[in-house]
Amino acid sequence: MQKSNKPIAGYHLLMILSSVDGEFAPEEGMLVQQYLADEFPFKMDLDNELETIALLKPEEWKGHFTFHANCFYDDSTEEERANFIQFAKTLIKADNKVTDEEHSYYTLLKKIWNID
């Protein structure tokens, strides 16, 4: 897999976080849109990225998530990672329920980034 830049890696992380519970809630979609607006002030075609994510089998999600967590880490500051973690927490709580799968991926992200 080719290394992703920080905004693209963040998009992959958020899309997987919002999908691991088997449901992509409208509230989660709005937060992903907010992330895109903040990170991509210009029009960005993410069709290829979305297709890549959509074609993943559930057993491939964790490896893909870990890869993009490392890509994001490589291109970000400690403050950016802390802000992203807070955003990710808001995302998984957006539908007013946090599943074990969502919590597991959120915890994995914190572990990869050495955030307590």
Q: Please report the pLDDT score of residue 18 as a whole number.
A: 92
Note down pLDDT in tens along the chain; length 116 residues: 889 999 999 999 999 999 998 888 889 999 999 999 998 877 778 889 989 999 999 999 999 999 999 999 999 999 999 999 999 999 999 999 999 999 999 999 999 999 98
* Chain CA centroid to CA 109, Å: 9
Asked if 14 contacts 31 with a C-beta cutoff of 8 angstroms, the reply is yes
Fold type of domain 6-112: TerB-like (1.10.3680)
Q: Please report the pLDDT score of residue 94 as a whole number.
A: 94
Q: Please report the pLDDT score of residue 85 as a whole number.
A: 97
